[in-house]
Amino acid sequence: MNLTAHGAAGMDVGRLVSILRTSLSSGLSSAEVRRRRGQHGFNEFEIQKDEPLWKKYLGQFKDPLILLLLASAVVSVAMKQFDDAVSITVAIIIVVSVAFVQEYRSEKSLEALTKLVPPKCHCVRDGRLETFLARELVPGDIINLSIGDRVPADIRLFEAFDLAIDESSFTGETEPASKHTNVLTTTKNNGISHMANVAFMGTLVRCGNGKGIVLGTGESSEFGEVFKMMQAEEPPKTPLQVSMDQLGKQLSFYSFCIIGGIMFLGWIQGRHLLDMFTIGVSLAVAAIPEGLPIVVTVTLAIGVMRMANRKAIVKKLPIVETLGCVKVICCDKTGTLTKNEMTVTKIMTADDKVAEVDSGVSGVGYSTHGVIVCDHNVVQKDSHPSITKVIQIGVLCNNAQIIEGDLQGQPTEGALLACAFKMDLESMRQEYIRLQEWPFNSDTKYMAVKCVPRDQKGPEVFYVKGAVEPIMRSSTHYYVSRGQPQPITEKQINHFMEQASHMGSAGLRVLALAYGDSMSQLVFAGLVGIMDPPRDGVREAVQTLISSGTQLKMLTGDSLDTAVAIASRLGLYASGGRCLSGDDIDQMDISSLSQIIGMIPVFYRVSPRHKHKIVRAIQNNGLVVGMTGDGVNDAVALRSADIGIAMGVTGTDVSKEAADMILVDDNFSTIMSAIEEGKGIFYNIKNFVRFQLSTSIAALTLITLSTMFSLPNPLNAMQILWINIIMDGPPAQSLGVEPVDHDVIRKPPRRAKDPIITRPLLVNVIISAAIIVSGTLWVFWREMQDNKITPRDTTMTFTCFVFFDMFNALSCRSQIKSILTVGFFSNRMFILAVGGSLIGQLLVIYFPPLQQVFQTEALYLSDFIFLICLTSTVFFVSEAKKFIERRNESRIRKRTVSIGDDEYHRDDLV
């Protein structure tokens, strides 16, 4: 039954329907869908055929350093040093296994990211239009496409109104391809761009609407193949990943030089060559933080999952980093800062009647209960003709429906309909036939319909609702309840505008309503004021972000008064502040807009086309900007912003596709949570970089110094490999998943170019490494008093190093806060990782087979007590340093201060 897109394009729809055994009006039945699912499976792809695990595992042995180590094991066998050979091999297996598990986890968490935003579709089944996941589709399903949708499968169109589809991802064409339903005569060798009656999976509807029949799904969909190739593309590395790769390379280079030097020195000193070689290579394995990029990737990926739990879906890894650098957030008002739950609270008619809508306790939102009161009288169906006229226009020029208290359609229209219910006027729509509609759009800011009474006893009339300015411009008369409409005068216009401004100042969204025989000669009927309260918690979120030095800008299509009223309530605007309108923006060029944009917190009467200019003006000032959007026309601005933020509930697929981040609940506070996570992740990455660097430097220095002073090697090759596991493995990783410190949100945004390795971080690394090296060397020297090197000596030195490392990890959990504030048990992964490492260490010391591998000996309890007292110094010194820094910071508020590893740029806060 699978049809190729080429085949279907050349076939008329009737034939296609019979081949696919479906119905254009009622679609497939549920039973048939189940049967076809059994046959065709889900509409999805296996993106990459996974390599078998054993192959991946063996792949780990391709690392040149591991190969060198294996070579030294082979040489040991050749020299009949079987013990050494077994030890090295076991140690290699442990190292490789830990690396493998980590890489596997990193892959899995990256894979999980691609499943965060499953595409949906609108499909007719059993005669009903339903919305569900696109993976549920089977061949023969009937799909409805409308503006902003993503095409969920390859579809042969049988209905297309003004349909244009963006196929740029396949064809590179930036202009949307216009689609029709006609049969194509020559379909052979036609590329995607010539198949005008087929919509391809993964493309986006830019304009119009249409319907179509699903052809092949999943693996058998023809053009899904192209889509699959695109999906399988390796995502680009994040700047942090790139800089970690570079850092890794630099460190490798230095390590190799030092290790070369050590081996050369050892050779001159006449040490055993194979020993020196094995130690050198193990040191290379340990000192080179090859795990660094993996730990960064896993940390970022885990951060993305954590953000998803907090209702922010980040689509690309680099965005996690950028989030911590966002300096300006431009946010739509309706639905993001406000609830988008609209209620009409005031009606003002052209003949100066003022009515308050009392929705009662339960009547807020789309409840049909409540009363409308005018001059202390309850407004009934026909008691106040001018109010009835206003509501009549509101109902006729309206596409919303309220079914059992649930709204289907736009909230603004829902509010008008709910108001009509309160006056028993909701059925008015049935009394008219709609002849034509001019839908609302945010450029024209009005909606109009042309209707005629169903009983044909009246003329065709235009009913219009929209923002006050366009309606006033087209109004030539105003409605009076008794007599003919009166010509509108300048004075009257000013009066109506004043009333609108009055409503707006109370934070109401104002709609003007009018009717007439022609669109250029309307009769103004009145105004309604709609309340859309700010979301809970947004004021606090706004305050927190502003105090951290992030600028917030509110963008709205509403009027100046409404915008200012809501912005003031949210603490975004102080009286006397400047606002810009869409018209003002039109009149400025980018550079003059850039100059003043820092001072503008509110933009009113803006439409999507202004957003792009605002983004560019901000970026011109070198600032990182986040921009929200939901409509098809917002896509350009979302793409050009450093972080495009789409709305999960009200957003179109086009905006979601263009965005970098999706707010599942459309809520502004979610942006704050995401920024908090973004900043926190950066600190976590710094933490484990500090940990890995100090361990790596300590290990290198230890061996270098002992070689330079002609001491025997304090650690053998296996022990060095064990240290590598701790450094690159679970303890380092667990620092990356440290719960986000909620105070980070109060810190200023990071500068995008700020390096990870700052001077204060290096100082911390050097202090820790110096303590570890001196302590370990001292233990080694103390143990070697008998001038003979025994397993006990290296066991003590080895355990000393490992314990130092554990305490070092503990102090790396925060660069600023004391462990008492952070909490010993707040990072479960850390407890598990360190606990696991300690148990491993005990096994290495006490478990005979491992004793053999690592050439260790059992220690006494007193040894442990001694070692714990000694190694905890690295932790206490770090805590003392943090304490002094905290005290200094609160005392001296210099322009630039550094706390822990972080430099604060106070200029940014001004």
Q: Which residues are marked as active site? A: 332
DSSP string, 48-59: SPPPPHHHHHHH
Q: How far is CA 444 from the centre of its chain?
A: 32
Residue at shortest CB range from ligand ATP: 557
Biggest alpha carbon distance in the chain? 118
Radius of gyration of the chain (CA): 35
Which residue ranges make up the site for ligand ATP (CB under 6 A)?
A: 332-335, 410, 412-413, 440, 442, 445-447, 465-467, 509-511, 555-558
CB of 738 to ligand ATP, least distance (A): 36
Which tokens hold the place of 553?
């800008």
CB of 103 to ligand ATP, least distance (A): 44
Instruction: For ligand ATP, give the closer residue by CB, 23 or 444.
Output: 444
Please say whether the beta carbons of 239 and 318 come within 8 A: yes
In angstroms, give the least distance from the CB of 610 to ligand ATP: 10
User: Cα–chain-centroid distance for residue 518?
Assistant: 48
In 10 A of CB 395, how many CB atoms? 24
Q: Residue 179 or residue 333: which is nearer to ligand ATP going by CB?
A: 333
Reduced to 3 states, what is the DSSP secondary structure of residue 211?
strand
Distances (CA, A) of 371 to 346, 419, 780: 12, 9, 88
The token pair that represents 749 in the structure block: 């945004």
Q: Minimum distance from CB of 243 to ligand ATP (Å)? A: 37
Whichever of 119 and 335 has its CB closer to ligand ATP, that residue is 335
Q: Cα separation of 511 and 492, whole Å?
A: 17
Question: Which residue, 799, 815, 810, 856, is CA-closest to 833?
Answer: 810
Under 8 Å between Cβ of 801 and 772 = yes
Residue 720, judged by CB atoms within 10 A of its CB (0-12, 13-18, 19+), counts as: buried
Burial of residue 97 (number of CB atoms within 10 Å: 0-12, 13-18, 19+)? middle
Residue closer to ligand ATP, measured from CB, 570 or 777: 570
Paired with 461 in beta bridges are 451
Is the Cβ–Cβ distance between 665 and 672 less than 8 Å? Answer: no
Taking the complex as a whole, the smallest distance from the CB of residue 595 to ligand ATP amounts, in Å, to: 24
Instruction: Identify which of residues 340 and 548 has a Cβ nearer to ligand ATP in the complex.
Output: 340
List, in sequence order, every beta strand (DSSP E) within 350-473. Answer: 354-358, 371-374, 377-378, 401-403, 406-408, 432-438, 446-453, 461-466
In the complex, least distance from residue 608 CB atom to ligand ATP, rounded to whole angstroms: 8
d(C-alpha 705, C-alpha 830), whole Å:
31
Q: What minimum distance in Å lies between the beta carbon of 412 and ligand ATP? A: 4
Considering beta carbons, is residue 524 or 780 the nearer one to ligand ATP? 524
Per DSSP, helices labelled H in 334-397 are 385-396
Question: Which sign, positive or negative, has the C-alpha torsion 408, 414, 418, 424?
Answer: negative
Shortest separation between residue 332's beta carbon and ligand ATP, angstroms: 3
Nearer to ligand ATP, 216 or 504 (CB): 504
Residue 373, SS3? strand
Q: Which tokens in the block code for residue 789?
A: 């090197």
Residue type, 905: H
Tokens of 310: 């907090």
Residue written as token pair 């030095």: 549
Residue 474 beta carbon to ligand ATP: minimum distance, rounded to whole angstroms: 13
- Rounded Cα distance between 677 and 680, Å, is 5
